[in-house]
Each structure stands twice: as structure tokens, then as C-alpha cells.
Structure 1
Amino acid sequence: MRICFPVCCNIGLDSLLFDSFSCAPEYVIADTKSMKVITVSNIGQILQYGTCDPVEERDGFEIDIAIIKSIGDALLHKLNSVDISVFQAQREDVGGNINMLLTGNLVQLISDKGYQHIHV
């Protein structure tokens, strides 16, 4: 399973999650089979709501899941529509959230198409 996390900078499984999914400077993609971590720059990053599209900016990297702190419902709907499951982060770091996911302790977010902004 390939899991995407919005981060400020990649320090592997110790990377801290960035507050906003769409405006994160980078994404850490962790593979739960190999526990390898790669970094993808958010090349479309513009710090204004609704102006960047991380679904399009993944440089072709396939992901199954995104674990986030906050996300707008429009982007949540878009991720869900391309079969990317989204879960609410419960820890500050990538590794802690992977453990929470694998033990079934994260809540999945599903778009209600209400286009609201979701925060922890």
C-alpha cells in the first residue's frame, strides 16, 4: 500500500505532517510493504486556497491512501473520485500515522460534496 502524507520536508518516517494537504511543500509517499519513503515536490504549490491541484501534481506517482491533518471538501471529493482513500491523521509524524492506520485506528474521510474545510 502506498500512502501519501503532506510534509514540510522529508525526514523519513519521522517527517512531520504539514497542516494543509493542498499547500504542502512536499509529499512523502511511504510504501507499507517495503517501508521505503520517497519525496515528491508539490510543483503546483501556491499558498492560496483552490489554486493548486496535488492530484495532478504527483508526477505520476501512484498512491492508494492520503493521511491528512486538514483538507477542503472539494479536494477530498476529487481524491475519493480517483480511488484515493483519505484518513484523518491522529499523530504528528508519518510513522505514527502508518502504525495507527495498520491497526485500524484512523477515521476514513468521505466527501459529502458540501465543499467545506475539514480540520482536526
Structure 2
Amino acid sequence: MRICFPIETDKGLDSTVSDHFGSAALFLVADTDSGATTVISNSGQHHDHGACNPLQALQGSTIEAIAVRNIGTGAVGQINRSGLRVYKAIGETVQNNLEKLATNTLPEYAASEGCSGHGNGGGCCH
């Protein structure tokens, strides 16, 4: 599986997963079959809340899933409609989350869990 993680600094599999998908500086795509990784700059990093276009930001990279800490409800729906799975990153690093994925303990993100705004009233509190 090719799975994408939002990151701020490229440290390979030791990269810390960014707090929010759409505003991350970079994306790290990990291939769980080959172990290869690729880093992509997020050209859509600066956008108004709710105007994130995550698939465009990935510049057409072939992926099957993303793993994120927080993501807007609209983005979850958009990604799911495109046929991709959205996992909830619960580990600190990319490697931590890949280990959870390998043991089927990385939960999928439900659209109802998505962030609907920032701050205490928005659902994701970051």
C-alpha cells in the first residue's frame, strides 16, 4: 500500500506526523510493500479554512490512503469519494503509524470525526 503522511520536516520514517493535513509543509508517501519513501512539497499549504484541496496538493501522486492527526470533514469526504482510505495517525512518527497499520491497529477516520473549525468549538482543538 502507498500511504501518505503530512509532515513538517523530512526525517524519513522518523518524521513527526503534522497536526493538520492541508497545512503541512510536506507529504511523505511510504510504500509498505517496498519500504520506499518519497517526499512531496505541499503547494496548497496556505489556504483558507475549508478551502483545502488535498488531492491537488498531492500533485497526482499514486496513493491508496492517507494517515492524518486532524483533517476537515469536507476533506475526509472528498478523499473517501476519490476511493482513498483515511486513517487516523495515532503514533508520533511515520514509523509508529506504519507499525500500527501493519498490525491492523491504525483506525480509519470517519467523516463525522473531522474538524469543523479551529479552537474549542471546532471539534479538533488545535
Q: Flag whether TM exceeds 0.5 (same fold).
A: yes
Q: Match for residue 78 of structure 2?
A: 78
Aligned pairs for 1:1-120 (under 5 A) are: 1-46=1-46, 48-112=48-112, 116=116, 119=124
AA partner of residue 25 (structure 2): P
Superposition RMSD in Å: 2.0
Change (3 A) 1:113 1:74: farther
* Paired residue total: 120
Answer whether contact 1:74 1:113 (CA < 8 A) is retained: no
Structure 2's unaligned 5+ residue stretches are 118-122
Answer whether contact 2:71 2:115 (CA < 8 A) is retained: no
AA partner of residue 76 (structure 1): V
Larger proportion of helix: 2
Cα shift readout 1:46-96 (whole Å, capped 9, x = no counterpart): 153123312112122111111110011000000000011011111110011
Q: Which moved more, 1:12-21 or 1:103-112?
A: 103-112
Answer whether contact 2:86 2:108 (CA < 8 A) is retained: yes
- Indicate the percent of aligned positions where both proteins have the same amino acid: 32
Q: Which moved more, 1:102-111 or 1:3-12?
A: 102-111
When normalised by structure 2's length, the TM-score is: 0.86
Deviation at 1:12, TM superposition (A): 0.7
When normalised by structure 1's length, the TM-score is: 0.90
3-state DSSP of counterpart to 2:23? coil
Answer whether contact 2:5 2:67 (CA < 8 A) is retained: yes
Answer whether contact 1:69 1:119 (CA < 8 A) is retained: no
Structure 1's unaligned 5+ residue stretches are none
